[in-house]
Structure 1
Amino acid sequence: MVEKSIWMQQVAADPGHSHWYVERFRAKARAGEDLTGEARLVDAMAPRGARILDAGCGPGRLGGYLAKVGHHVVGVDVDPVLIDAAKQDYPGPDWLVGDLAELDLPARGVTERFDVIVSAGNVVTFLAPSTRVQVLARLRAHLAVDGRVVIGFGANRDYEFTEFLADATEAGFVPDLLLSTWDARPFTDDSDFMVAVLRPS
């Protein structure tokens, strides 16, 4: 049995947590805040009409933007409340409830591999630590031969950048590019955020 993610442990401890998270981003949208910076970077990397997997899609802000600009998007999240919000707020992509550690989209009728897989919003830090390599390996299995995975997360979240890169190597990736922000600033030893662009090794 796969260990429950940190996110779902939080939901179990506070059943209102997911609803709070959805409303937080709806409020940001109403206030006119920029919620698509991560998606703009992915859009710039992707060919037109790309197949994109939003892994840990939450309430759909990134996948929704990417679909709006013409990509074919599948979003997966372990939290059904977040998937329901994505379906409501961003119709168009295929929004699916699923655990990234057990990701098997061909079994659900999604047979093509993805040109780009994005995992933003600190998703990797909410994974159960015992499943991190397994999740990365499942992402690699769903990636096109010349595809790339883009993962962003902050420091001081119990997942060191060096440990993540070692896990990515174990899962069959090599880094193409390391950034410190979603607006493409270079990564340095002092960076408190990492955006890792990975390709299959």
Structure 2
Amino acid sequence: MTEIPRTRWETSENSGFAAHFSELIATGGDIEGEARLADALLPRGATVLDAGAGFGRVGAALQARGHHVVAAEKDPDLVAMAAEHYPDLPMVRTDILALTPDLLAEAGHPTTYDLVVLVGNVIVLLAPDTEQRALRTLAALLAEGGRILVGFHMKEAPTSSARAYPFEQFVADVEAVGLKVQHRFGSYELAPANDDYCVAVLSLV
């Protein structure tokens, strides 16, 4: 089996993440911006894989909108938090690099998806030099016509452990694995593209 390296998330201090989102939930803050855009990309009742799901806020929002969602998260604390906040959200505890049709099938989940959600800076918190590998892994799980929704800070992410990921380098990695950037925006509200934040919709070439 190919080695699964430790992610930047695993090798850094991220203790404030859970507290931040717990407070947002408790105070009625908006935690569904990514989900609203994802929902707009989909037909009703679509299959969605929330890769690097955290505690499941995006996947749960899409599930509430009638989609068939599977969340994948490696961090045991976030998996436990997901079970607390969203007990009905199907969750697979796994690294993104280990997501295979066989693993999903063994867990009783679909092996292809209409949309893979990769938001919340997940791509800039992967293990170093695994961006192409992760994108290739997720591309292999796309159904016909399926797409990947990616969102990340290109320069300064909320955590110091995240890498800088210039758009040109991101595009090179995307194209190297047989994907293309179908759309690019500067926010989940479809702001114009900018140099700080990237929201991209990827499709197979």
TM-score, with structure 2 as normaliser: 0.89
| More displaced stretch, 84-93 vs 31-40 | 84-93
What residue in structure 2 maps to residue 38 of structure 1? 34
One-letter amino acid of the structure 2 residue matched with residue 161 of structure 1: F
Instruction: Indicate which of 98, 101, 107 corresponds to 2:97.
Output: 101
Distance in 1, Cα, partners of 2:26 & 2:166: 34
Q: Partners of 1:101 and 1:65 in 2: how far apart?
A: 24
Q: Which amino acid aligns with 1:149?
A: I
The one-letter code sitting in structure 1 at the alignment partner of 2:182 is: D
2:102 counterpart SS class? helix
Paired residues of 2:50 and 2:59 also in contact (CA < 8 A): yes
Structure 2 unaligned regions, length at least 5:
156-162
What's the offset of the Cα at 1:178? 0.4
1:191 aligned partner: 195
For the pair 1:181 / 2:201, whether they are aligned, the reply is no
Q: What corresponds to 1:2 in structure 2?
A: 4
TM superposition shift of 1:92: 2.1
Percent same amino acid among aligned pairs? Answer: 36
- CA distance, structure 2, for counterparts of residue 185 and residue 111 of structure 1: 33
Report how far residue 94 of structure 1 moved: 1.2
CA distance in 2, matches of 1:106, 1:63: 21
Q: CA RMSD in A?
A: 1.4
Q: Give the C-alpha shift of residue 112 in structure 1.
A: 3.4
User: Equivalent residues in 2 for 1:44-83 (5 A)?
Assistant: 44-83=40-79
Give yes or no for contact 1:50–1:115 (8 Å, CA) kept in 2: yes
- What code does the residue aligned with 1:148 have? R
Q: Deviations over 1:73-105 (max 9, x none)?
A: 011112111111112201222111111112114
Runs of 4 or more consecutive aligned structure 1 residues displaced over 6 Å after TM superposition? none
- Code of the residue aligned with 1:200 in structure 2: it is L
CA distance in structure 2 between the partners assigned to 1:112 and 1:104 by the alignment:
8
Q: Does 55-64 or 103-112 show the bigger shift? A: 103-112
**Distance across 1 between alignment mates of 2:32 and 2:102:** 28
The answer to whether the Cα contact below 8 Å between 2:59 and 2:89 also exists between their aligned partners in 1 is yes
Q: Report what 1:132 is aligned to.
A: 131
After superposing the two structures, state which structure 1 stretch, 108-117 or 190-199, moved more: 108-117
Q: How far apart, in 2, do the equivalents of 1:144 and 1:105 lie?
A: 12
CA–CA distance in structure 2, aligned partners of residues 49 and 147 of structure 1:
14
Q: 2:21 aligns with which of 6, 25, 45?
A: 25
Letter in 2 for 1:43: D
- TM superposition shift of 1:69: 1.0
Matched, 1:112 2:114: no
How many angstroms apart in 2 are the aligned matches of 1:163 and 1:138? Answer: 18
Q: Whole-Å Cα distance in 1 between the matches of residues 83 and 178 of structure 2?
A: 32
**2: CA distance between counterparts of 1:87 and 1:166?**
37
Cα pair 2:69 2:90 within 8 Å, conserved: yes
Aligned length: 193
Structure 1 residue identity aligned to 2:170: F
Look up the SS of the partner of 2:184 in the other structure. strand
Q: Compute the TM-score of the two structures, normalised by the length of structure 1.
A: 0.91
Q: Does 1:86 align with 2:82?
A: yes
**138-147 or 22-31, which deviates more:** 22-31
| Counterpart amino acid of residue 153 in structure 1 | F
